[in-house]
Structure 1
Amino acid sequence: MEQTAPSQPRHRAGELGAPPTVAPARTPWQGVAIWGGRALLALTVAAAVLTAATRDQWTMRGFDDIGSPTSPIPNVALGMTLAVGVIWHWVFGLSAIPETCWREGGTLVAPTVWGRRHIQLRGALVIPFRLFSQSGTLHGAFLVDRRARPIMLLEPFQSSGPTRVQRLTGQVRPATFRQAAVEYLAGAMWGFMTVIAVGILLGVLDVCTGAMGHP
């Protein structure tokens, strides 16, 4: 966890190479990810509204042994809300894929589900992290600039290493066991935040619609 010095960003051109300064061509799956995030949020809201509007009808169909509704309407709303909670940072436009980002001088340009975010790197707080996945270790970083604008850089499926993120942020840290442990800890904290986000969204849905049924 480190804050870039206002007068001299930590950029080591000899180690990282020049940062990408041209907008990369969007691949088909990246387009699907962006439009899929928009569609998921819109459909989840629609499912929640439908669940609330038809509550009298689906409650008449009864509940199972553990108190969950037997109607598919609230269960679909619950499933979609769970999905939104798991990837809430992506759906709400707070994260971007490193391969789609580039630099414009001292500004990081990050395409998100809801448009481009511009993060001033001078004086920005940069927190690298690592996550375990089936394809290996995923490398990412949290950034918050001096105007309190946040962004998370994370490759959702696979990662060839931290180089792309380091080139975008202009920072490199020693490849030591201690640094790796700190980054995995930051990733674990992010996972904990995701669990909290899921709980909050499901709780709001239940309060508004009763979708989780009766105990």
Structure 2
Amino acid sequence: MKRLIALITLLILPAFAPTITLAQDFSQGSTARSWNLEGEQPALFEARVVDLLCELTGDCPTDCGAGKRQMGLVRTADNVMILAIKNAQAAFSGAAVDMALYCNQTVEVDGLLIDNPALGARNIYMVQKVRVAGGDWAKANKFTKVWASENPEAKGKGAWFRRDPRIKALIAENGYLGLGLAVDDAFIKDWF
């Protein structure tokens, strides 16, 4: 239930967020690789890594959820909260595993900032590299290795999410659409 409330909060948050003028051009010095996404801009900045649920609800485990909770960045230059939703991998994977290592620390990040009001996307960040100030850059690409070590029984070829036991269990219970098996059956029959 907490995850559902947090997800709903994150989805409606952009609708209530005031328009914010960027304090500076965060593209200066960035070496982020473009993904050719609508509204993307390379962005290099300093920020404090935060557990979003902690920031929004006060539910604050000491380890920021150990990579199981959505992470955010509170940018030092203007105190704006940025949603760190993606890492540098092309696979469908988030940034939580990479960012949890820096829980409550101030870091520098380099990646792509997405700002597209037409889509309701504001302060969405795809982390490509991260470092503690003065340290070496680390690529934000740990998700699939961590996932594989946590799910050895799901070893095999193909995309990780097609083999993930949690995803397979949810599909078995709720269907591919998440609306129940009967709705799935009708949809598949109608469309395929």
TM-score (norm 2): 0.25
Which protein is richer in helix relative to its size? 1
The structure with the greater share of residues assigned to strand is 2
Per chain length, whose mean CA-contact separation is higher, i.e. which structure has more relative contact order (CA < 8 Å, sep 6+)?
1
Normalising by structure 1, report the TM-score.
Answer: 0.23
